[in-house]
Structure 1
Amino acid sequence: MSHSEFDPKHFVSNLTTRPGVYRMYDVNGELLYVGKAKNLKNRVASYFRVTGLTTKTMALVSRIHSIEIAVTKSETEALLLEQTLIKQHRPPYNILLRDDKSYPYILLSNHHHPALLFRRGDKTDKGTLFGPFPSGSAVKESLNTMQKVFKVRQCEDSTYSNRSRPCLQYQIKRCSGPCVNLISDEEYENDVRHARMFLQGKDQELTAEISAQMSAAAADMEFERAAELRDQIIQLKHIQEQQHVYGQTGEADIIAAIIQPGGLCVHVMMVRKGKVVGSKSHYPKMPIEITEGELLSSFIAQFYLGGIQELPKTLIISHQLDDAEALVEGIFATTQKKIEVLDNVRGQRARWLELAKLNAEQGLQARLSDKRNHFSRITALQKLLGFSEAPMHMECFDISHSSGEATVASCVVFGPDGPDKKRYRSFNIEGVEAGDDYGAMKQALTRRYKRVKSGELDAPDVLLIDGGKGQLTQAEAVLKELGLVDIFLLGVAKGDTRKPGLETLYIGSKEDEVVLPPDSAALHLIQHIRDEAHRFAVKSHRRRRDKKRRHSVLEEIPGIGPNRRKELLTAFGGYQELLSASQENIAKVKGISAKKAEEIYLYLHKS
């Protein structure tokens, strides 16, 4: 496979399992298909199965050159965003409505026993219309939900007037049977009122009212009625998600910036009339030595002053700008439109900003792990190191501890496709003085490369050490002692300011120092490997530290299970108080015999 081709297996392996929307593009960048998913990883993976695909799906898959994703907070939000994008772009492989101007509505009819009905087009029916909704499927989904929760009829008046006995909907508990008087007018009106509140978005008031009715029913010993109301509340809480992708009002562009070693990302999410009508991640080439605020300022100036994008009323940004006032004045001077720039928002706007940040993080993570991008970085590293072939196996070590407590060394492995997490290893460091990072590094390297020397493990092409000359010395000594002199050493030391992009590299020895420019592809790969080793070391250390802190000495005493430990700690209040207790006092605890008290006392004082 050429490294310029799309690799679905690698792409899917790095996808999130969150809900969201995916967009498939051809080699010319034309949008082929927009879809939604409850689990992005599983849904996208289903397109690349070996068997079971339809002719249409196979035709679509054969044209895919790239896939972009937009993460959402829920499947409902993904559905609404999907419909917006389909209407906006009309992708050739999506099912398109023939009449985009005819929106679907829900009608609450004007009848003695009102019905909830699906309506589209002319609004001539008598009653109250709720909508419009983004699609017919959204209306049907809402009606299906209200059938289960409120049991308001959904049959046409002609069907209602001709019923002499309850229909199937009554039998499966999706209608209360007003057509044959199986519910009183008062009770039915109460259900209709609740359905109306639900459609009006009065979620909190509705839940509070039903909760009060449930409590009253329980107080009156009407337990079956209370149980029904309880089930209603559970269903309502399940479906009444706070919308982030689809709100009531609002017109804004939400812009989130993220900077990580190896890449930058600016994600723009456009909200019009409360709906997210589009989003896109941008990856500008800029110096690493820059703050998120400076990145946003530069991006906004180019994006809006250049007339690329229509101006909303508000820009909601992830970081504060030093030149926000000048930027607003500049935009007004060139467009005669006054906008506001906000970085401190609450409520719905804060949820939009949180979603934009999430998409920026996911977009940059996907870009950093992209196989084609990784190959270009490996090629740049090959040139830097003077290798005849690209390094296909790289390892990096890092040390993590809390003031010497629970020291752990990490070893991460990078292959031709990027991080090979199945081959990651962590080493619990023992017998080394607390805080001795050099000793910890030496122990971890010795344990790892003894197995390489014995032939159990393959030797890496490059061994990357995070920590500068001191740590590099330990690595040189270990490899020399084991006779593994063919492994290429690469040391990485942080600069004086400890900021990404200013690292000093020691290539092959402590004397050969190199400082690469911040936009170097080789440096970005080294930073990615180094940061991954640091992340894995911190994760492993915290796991070991927390496990140690949760451990109780009482767990080591034979014959003392959870119940006896609980009784002992309850009686004495803690381990130190138990340690100072006499054997006679221990024997007074419930479930502790005189013999067991003696065993506990001797164990606690054995040293």
Structure 2
Amino acid sequence: MDADEVRGRASDLPAEPGVYQFVERSARSDDERASGEAASDAGSESDLRGGDGTVLYVGKAVDIRDRVRSYADARSERIARMVERADDLAFAVTDTETQALLLEANLVKRHQPRYNVRLKDDKSYPLVQFTDHDAPRIEVTRDPDPGAVAFGPYTDKGRVETVLKAIREVYGLRGCSEHKYRNRDRPCLDYEMGLCTAPCTGEIGAEQYRADVESARRFFEGETGALADPVRREMEQAAQAQEFERAANLRDRLAVVEGFHDGAGAAVAAGDEDDGAATTDVLGVAVEGDSATVARLHAEYGQLVERDQHRLDAPEGEDRVAAVLAAFLTQYYAERELPDRILLPEPHGDDEVAAWLEAAGVEVTVPGAGREATLVDLALKNAHRRSGGEDELGALADTLGVPRPERIEGFDVSHAQGKAVVGSDVCFVDGSAETADYRRKKLDDENDDYANMRRLVRWRAERAVDGRDDRPDPDLLLIDGGRGQLDAALDAVEATGWDGPEAVVALAKDEEVVVTPDRTYDWDDDAPQLHVLQRVRDEAHRFAVAYHQTLRDDVSTALDGVEGVGPELRKRLLRRFGSVESVRQASVDDLRDVDGVGEATAETIASRL
């Protein structure tokens, strides 16, 4: 690549955190390589060639576009030779800089690119493992045991150790070796210090210990309250007892626990199998016109190590994403080793494919929440942000006759026959989701879609006019709906005098037509300006539905009116069992395990449900 080509390729890349790779796909002779690389490149070249070419360099960036553009003016002769040798670029977006750091480290270890500086000791980031024993041990490790369940990797070992100490104090999980655990006739010092419940000598029953292990695992799976709630209660008790130093220490620990899943690393849970290397594939699908992109993230033993994209012809009719998934699963894995687990954004809906995967022992999951759902979201993000895409925002600006809409806000309303009415306000910047600027609003219950949309947009407009919204004004407002919803939104904008947006348009879901104040557009399915609006519309719809479901469960469930069950206990029950149906199926003993549920309340819940 020359400098102009690097700048041109960089302009198509997203301005988001992630990882980029310079790749050599063209065949070159050994003589050509030798003449182009001086003695400063000492060392033998790893044979990394294959169908995807040779990875020359892997880098991470807060802004992929800016970082890649900088290679047009290489800072050293070595990097200049790398750029000249490369003839392709690949990239993967991540949600955070931490995830980019971890993915870069794993890709460097896997591909061993000759132009990267590589650590000789090949150390990995720490993980937390629960060993495969009758009484599992919890510990930080870089080399998990066979049969263990591992979570991680994490970049901040100090925070991990703080959380582990909290886990052991709350749940009493052992941290000793098997040698120390076996054949004991009395508990060790950890038991006296309150760090272990001593399953080795039967101070705690095997069933109760297993239950404590499961509670601890739920925390690493993303349920922060499994650890934060007990620590908070202990902190409050210490404060009431005027043990202020201990309360302050617990306060600091609580802050680490509550922020653990946001900043300690990108956790991926993967159960280890006989060979010690359980594998997970995460798939995301983007269907645009008559083509589809499937993004695959691959994790081995809890670490995200690979990412690739594949193009398919999109089928016609309904459930296009499901059809793409079914086709991809059969075609991609027919000649490849199946992973132990596959995470999908939605069911593939093919009974024959399901039977094949089940017979092969593959666990197929459509996660609804937690870390697995976060991975699926990341795969979807990569599917939508494929390399070399068209200038969607430029096409949208040209078609609508407005300035380029760098910032788009999408609005949708969700409710159940006028109950638990909520509105979503999502934000996309430069064609990509800006989740930090998402907002949601609980609206008055009314079974009128137009009135609900008017109230939602008026709420946003009034906050902007009064200076109470800390976000910049959008260039374009996108309303989920047709002419009625658009007119309601325009009424709200006009009534408040908000002059921020350059344009307000609506996208009707059934017909996929774009409605503006002056006309209606029926663009081709493969029109780039339609694609960007569809992404914003779909995300506004998803965000609204997710909030509506949460609010509906919170406001109206079968637990309402059950004697002894108030709002806080209801939340704890739903947090513990996941749904009212799971609460209904729980035994009295299971119900009593929930904090605040006594025997009488447990029996009342069981009988009423």
TM-score grouping bracket, smaller chain normalisation: 0.3 to 0.5
User: TM (normalized to structure 2)?
Assistant: 0.48
TM-score (norm 1): 0.48
